Chains A and B, each alone.
Chain A
């Protein structure tokens, strides 16, 4: 079954997010509590938008959210957003909840309310300014890698069963030969922590590990296809 994103809130942030999700071809569902925003979502073409009173528990019961889905909380009202996060966490404790906050106090509250990830608008931007001041070129390039669809980009991929990479050491694999660079990975044997390749210790690759690589889009695609082969 395909993962779904449930977007709570179609205000300032919600609207742009809905567009981005659409562009990424993610199956998404917009949910709003204000009639005005609800109408706007319908007008913008999100015909499956739901109008829900987020303060009433019974309205959540018929939401069909499964464990693999994502919940995004971006209500315009900060208090409502925290309340919503808390309610959703109570109803769907295993679902990943991502919330956007616009102050350090709200971030803390959202985390306490059960959000798995909180993106603090201003915190992120403030860091960005520091990065620009310290390393302008690197920041610009990284931005490009992240936001561009074509050209050089970052991608994560899972090593499939019986791949030629299975049971190999990182140092023995010629990523350069494929035109890609390995940035980091999640080694399932070592838990769910992201390990940067520059830590300096060589890891054994296994099927099921997740690799994050950087490279030209076509090279990344070629490499991903290549991973299914059993010989290099």
Chain B
């Protein structure tokens, strides 16, 4: 009876879109670093942690007002509790396990038992609860219970909770993890020496030295001496004890320098990688950015121009020596091969507008990168350079949005320069985007003051603009020199010519709602 009800409920949840959406939403909000709104949640949590720790420290010597207590005990702890429960909830799907097991037993025509899915769910939830971060989260909720002073120590866990929200500490731990073997060997050696020196001093001085009363005192002295800290609260008094001191001081020095060098080398090995991952994180935060593949002449020219345009970008180059050159030139470059699937996958494909520029020196590579990007998401725009004009068709088949052929562009310009020299100046100005002339487009979004108006109602000449034509939607037809009675529609793209300021002024007036 109860089992039947639970199974029904599981099926109902399994079919509910709303439940699924809500769960995915919270999962993304808490766990997906690419999600643009996650940073607000993170900032809120960091704020709560810092204020809560601040209040507890302040409370040591001062009495705090009631509202602070209320804030700390109820608000912060409850929010932490909600966070903990949400994370617990999104970690795995209970209903899925039940549904799966139920279908399996129906298929095999055996009796369905709730125990099997419950065991599975229990295991996965326990796995979550026993993970270090979850333990910290749980302990961080506890400081709510004030009367027990010992519980104050749990405020430390609120500080540990910061770990989850600060990347640099995580990266520090990751770097150290790469030297796990060396560090463990060192630790083992340290423990071995500490114990043997501790026992030795205990045996020699337990009766002679008034400060050494137990083995713990001896071990404490050994660690303080090995680490070269030397508080001086316990000092050897016998010759034997002093001899042991000298020995462990010397070996302690060696061990500390060894440890320093291990940590330093771990960082210097990983420094490049750390910088690169930081760069990727930075660019992923942007609303739109460019991934430029290859650092050649074209990329250099593009980046020089970019000083004005200020597009956010990151350059991927697979040749190490070229990467070094690019770093010297002061650009954001990382050493990666853009044709590898996981490289483009590192970027925030889901929530940002990415444009990939394939500017390497090989058509084959450019096509491959384009396909790679398009296979990840159709939303990624690709602009590719083609060297061989016969390749254009292939680039288009690969789904490239714009194919660029430097030779062809130069060719057109040269022919124009010869055949129509006057026009050349004009075209050159337009093509290079000089401020004297600008050909620009204005998209009429819903609500624009121009929609529904006739062409003759707008005095373009008064605005010092030339309306060349109207493009009906991105893929629609182009109406050149539109007739006076033509009506402007939503999603029309007007092709205008004029000074940059005239166009900007026009945009300002007509892209807004009111005329």
> CB < 8 Å: which of B383, B421, B495 contacts A129?
B383
Alpha-carbon distance A142/B411, docked complex (angstroms): 15
Task: Give the Cβ gap from B467 to chain A, nearest Cβ, in Å.
Answer: 8
Give B contacts to A, CB under 8 Å: 290, 297-298, 300-302, 304-306, 309, 311, 355, 357, 383, 385, 389, 402, 404, 406-427, 429-433, 436-437, 439-441, 461, 464-466, 468-469, 471, 474, 478, 480-481, 493, 495, 497-499, 502
Alpha-carbon distance A122/B412, docked complex (angstroms): 14
**B441 contact set on A, CB distance < 8 A:** 135-138
26 example contacts (A-B, Cβ-Cβ < 8 A) are as follows: A13-B410, A17-B411, A20-B415, A21-B418, A100-B410, A104-B304, A122-B297, A124-B410, A125-B409, A127-B432, A128-B431, A129-B404, A130-B309, A130-B433, A133-B355, A135-B441, A147-B412, A181-B481, A183-B426, A186-B422, A194-B425, A194-B426, A194-B429, A196-B436, A198-B498, A198-B499
Q: Quick check: is A173 within 8 A (CB to CB) of the other chain? A: no
Q: Which A residue sits closest to B462, measured CB to CB?
A: A200
Q: Contact: A142 with B499, CB < 8 Å?
A: no
Alpha-carbon distance A198/B122, docked complex (angstroms): 74
* Given pairs A21-B415, A129-B357, 13 additional interface contacts (CB within 8 A): A3-B418, A122-B298, A122-B300, A125-B409, A128-B431, A133-B355, A133-B383, A136-B441, A141-B471, A152-B469, A184-B426, A198-B465, A212-B426
**B385 contact set on A, CB distance < 8 A:** 125
Q: With A13-B407, A123-B301 given, is the CB distance from A196 to B426 under 8 Å?
A: yes
Task: Give the Cβ gap from B497 to chain A, nearest Cβ, in Å.
Answer: 6
Q: Quick check: is A70 within 8 A (CB to CB) of the other chain? A: yes
**A155 contact set on B, CB distance < 8 A:** 420, 423
Q: With A128-B404, A199-B464, A200-B464 given, is the CB distance from A138 to B495 under 8 Å?
A: yes
**A122 contact set on B, CB distance < 8 A:** 297-298, 300-301, 406
**A141 contact set on B, CB distance < 8 A:** 468-469, 471, 478, 495
Alpha-carbon distance A12/B406, docked complex (angstroms): 12
List the 10 shortest-distance A-B pairs measured between CB atoms, nearest first. A126-B301, A126-B302, A198-B498, A122-B301, A200-B464, A194-B425, A138-B441, A125-B406, A210-B422, A156-B423
Q: Contact: B309 with A133, CB < 8 Å?
A: yes
Q: Contact: B426 with A176, CB < 8 Å?
A: no
Alpha-carbon distance A20/B389, docked complex (angstroms): 13
Q: List residues 100-134 of chain A with CB under 8 A from any CB of chain B.
A: 100, 102-104, 117, 119-134
Alpha-carbon distance A129/B412, docked complex (angstroms): 16
> CB < 8 Å: which of B309, B430, B431, B495 contacts A137?
B495
**B297 contact set on A, CB distance < 8 A:** 102-103, 122
Q: Quick check: is A167 within 8 A (CB to CB) of the other chain? A: no
Q: Which B residue sits closest to A134, measured CB to CB?
A: B309
Q: List residues 185-200 of chain A with CB under 8 A from any CB of chain B.
A: 186, 194, 196-200
**B423 contact set on A, CB distance < 8 A:** 154-156, 212
Q: Quick check: is A214 within 8 A (CB to CB) of the other chain? A: yes
**B418 contact set on A, CB distance < 8 A:** 3, 5, 21, 24, 26, 70, 72, 98
Alpha-carbon distance A120/B437, docked complex (angstroms): 20
**A196 contact set on B, CB distance < 8 A:** 426, 436-437, 497-499
Alpha-carbon distance A135/B442, docked complex (angstroms): 9
**B480 contact set on A, CB distance < 8 A:** 152, 215-216
Q: Which A residue sits closest to B355, measured CB to CB?
A: A133
Task: Give the Cβ gap from A166 to chain B, nearest Cβ, in Å.
Answer: 18
> CB < 8 Å: which of A5, A70, A198 contacts B497?
A198
Q: Quick check: is A48 within 8 A (CB to CB) of the other chain? A: no
Q: Quick check: is A179 within 8 A (CB to CB) of the other chain? A: yes
Interface residue tally for chain A (C-beta within 8 Å): 66
Alpha-carbon distance A156/B419, docked complex (angstroms): 9
Alpha-carbon distance A141/B469, docked complex (angstroms): 10
Q: Quick check: is A42 within 8 A (CB to CB) of the other chain? A: no
Alpha-carbon distance A101/B427, docked complex (angstroms): 19
Q: Which B residue sits closest to A158, measured CB to CB?
A: B422
Task: Give the Cβ gap from A218 to chain B, nearest Cβ, in Å.
Answer: 12
Residue with the greatest number of chain A CB neighbours at <10 A, chosen from B311, B402, B440, B478:
B402
Alpha-carbon distance A126/B297, docked complex (angstroms): 10
Q: Which A residue sits closest to B387, measured CB to CB?
A: A12
> CB < 8 Å: which of B412, B420, B478 contacts A156?
B420
Task: Give the Cβ gap from A29 to chain B, nearest Cβ, in Å.
Answer: 13
**A186 contact set on B, CB distance < 8 A:** 422
Task: Give the Cβ gap from B389 to chain A, nearest Cβ, in Å.
Answer: 7
Task: Give the Cβ gap from B322 to chain A, nearest Cβ, in Å.
Answer: 16
Alpha-carbon distance A155/B431, docked complex (angstroms): 16
Q: Which B residue sits closest to A138, measured CB to CB?
A: B441
Q: Which B residue sits closest to A200, measured CB to CB?
A: B464
Task: Give the Cβ gap from A67 to chain B, nearest Cβ, in Å.
Answer: 14
Q: Which B residue sits closest to A135, measured CB to CB?
A: B441
**B436 contact set on A, CB distance < 8 A:** 196
Q: Contact: B414 with A17, CB < 8 Å?
A: yes
Q: Quick check: is A55 within 8 A (CB to CB) of the other chain? A: no
Q: Quick check: is A230 within 8 A (CB to CB) of the other chain? A: no
Chain A 3-29 per-residue mask, 1 if CB under 8 angstroms from chain B, else 0: 101000000110011001100101000
**A127 contact set on B, CB distance < 8 A:** 305, 431-433
**B468 contact set on A, CB distance < 8 A:** 141, 181, 214
Alpha-carbon distance A16/B409, docked complex (angstroms): 11
